[in-house]
């Protein structure tokens, strides 16, 4: 097996060297390095707008007999790991800009297919570690997205039965309701009471269960008011089932259905999802 030895051109913004001004110059900057491969480090996608940039790259590759790859820019414009909707959109748009520009320059504006870079690499992570995000730099009040860019976290969670059970058993669903509802809650129990009150008004299924239980209690000789109280308490023990619909409803009214606006919670859910899918070969993440 043979190896190709390559070097990185480096960034002009770091070294301020004249030979790193422009893509073609970066290819040629490795002339005396004794290698046959160069990784060109991009300052910005705008470097592709130099006059005759592809022709100059072709000339240098043919002359020096080297091959090349690309290292995309670093920073928040390419923060692919961010759950913040605005950063996620910026990052994926930037990724498409790189791929579209390569196709335009090497395939549409001229037939330079054999000079297309062998790869383009981006840092998987460009932001502070999650520990620092949670401690000092987390955002609140900005919409977050699932790994696929969807605002609806309820759908993401409920697609995985194991993840859904964890969110329920850990009381995270009630924490989310407390955080995202805009209402003041003192405890999980106070949230459950609020959900029960909402379900009585909004859920026909919930009302039907209470009605049937009242009838059963009345047949057993329980007074009407006492039967109503007992029936509501008993049916409310199943409140977990209605918590999801309550969360869906309050987020639909405030932001977007199933939305989470706390960045650290979004990362927590994705981390648990990856844990649950750790042995699933079909999971692309």
Domain final position from 90, 121, 152:
121
Task: Answer whether residue 1 is part of any domain.
Answer: no
In angstroms, the CA 5 to CA 178 distance is 56
pTM of the full structure: 0.76
Question: Looking at the structure, do residues 80 and 202 belong to the same domain, yes or no?
Answer: no
Question: Looking at the structure, do residues 109 and 140 belong to the same domain, yes or no?
Answer: no
Task: Answer whether residue 207 is part of any domain.
Answer: yes
Question: Looking at the structure, do residues 40 and 150 belong to the same domain, yes or no?
Answer: no
pLDDT value at residue 16? 55
Domain final position from 97, 121, 145:
121
Task: Answer whether residue 201 is part of any domain.
Answer: yes
Task: Answer whether residue 20 is part of any domain.
Answer: yes
Give the tens place of pLDDT for each residue, 40-95: 888 878 888 888 889 989 998 999 888 999 988 876 677 888 899 998 998 889 88
Task: Answer whether residue 175 is part of any domain.
Answer: yes
- Inform me whether the pLDDT recorded for 132 exceeds 80: no
Task: Answer whether residue 219 is part of any domain.
Answer: yes
Question: Looking at the structure, do residues 135 and 262 belong to the same domain, yes or no?
Answer: yes
Give the residue numbers spanning the domain of 179.
130-276
Residues 6+ apart with CB under 8 A from 47: 22, 23, 53
Query: What is the DSSP pairing of strand 37-41 with strand 120-121?
Result: unpaired
Burial of 263 (0-12, 13-18, 19+ CB in 10 A): buried
Helix (H) or strand (E) holding 56: helix 53-64
Question: Looking at the structure, do residues 90 and 216 belong to the same domain, yes or no?
Answer: no
**142-149 mean pLDDT:** 93
Our count of domains for the chain comes to: 2
pLDDT value at residue 11? 62
């Amino acid at each position: 097996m043979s190896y190709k030895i390559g070097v990185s051109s480096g960034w002009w913004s770091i070294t301020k060297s004249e030979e790193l001004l422009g893509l073609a110059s970066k290819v040629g900057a490795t002339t005396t390095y004794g290698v046959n491969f160069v990784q060109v480090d991009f300052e910005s996608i705008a470097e592709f707008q130099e006059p005759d940039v592809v022709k100059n790259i072709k000339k240098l590759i043919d002359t020096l007999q080297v091959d090349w790859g690309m290292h995309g820019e670093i920073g928040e414009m390419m923060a692919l790991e961010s759950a913040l909707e605005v950063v996620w959109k910026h990052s994926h748009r930037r990724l498409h800009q790189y791929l579209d520009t390569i196709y335009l320059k090497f395939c549409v504006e001229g037939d330079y297919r054999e000079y297309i870079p062998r790869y383009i690499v981006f840092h998987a992570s460009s932001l502070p570690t999650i520990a620092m995000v949670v401690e000092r730099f987390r955002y609140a009040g900005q919409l977050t997205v699932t790994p696929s860019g969807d605002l609806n976290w309820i759908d993401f969670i409920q697609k995985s039965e194991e993840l859904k059970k964890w969110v329920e058993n850990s009381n995270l669903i009630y924490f989310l309701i407390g955080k995202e509802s805009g209402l003041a809650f003192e405890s999980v129990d106070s949230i459950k009471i609020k959900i029960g009150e909402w379900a009585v008004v909004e859920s026909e299924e919930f009302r039907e269960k209470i009605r049937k239980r009242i009838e059963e209690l009345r047949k057993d000789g329980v007074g009407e008011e006492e039967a109503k109280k007992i029936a509501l308490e008993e049916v409310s023990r199943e409140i977990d089932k209605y918590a999801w619909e309550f969360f869906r409803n309050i987020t639909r009214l405030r932001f977007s259905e199933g939305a989470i606006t706390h960045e650290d919670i979004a990362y927590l859910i994705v981390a648990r999802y990856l844990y649950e899918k750790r042995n699933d070969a079909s999971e692309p993440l």
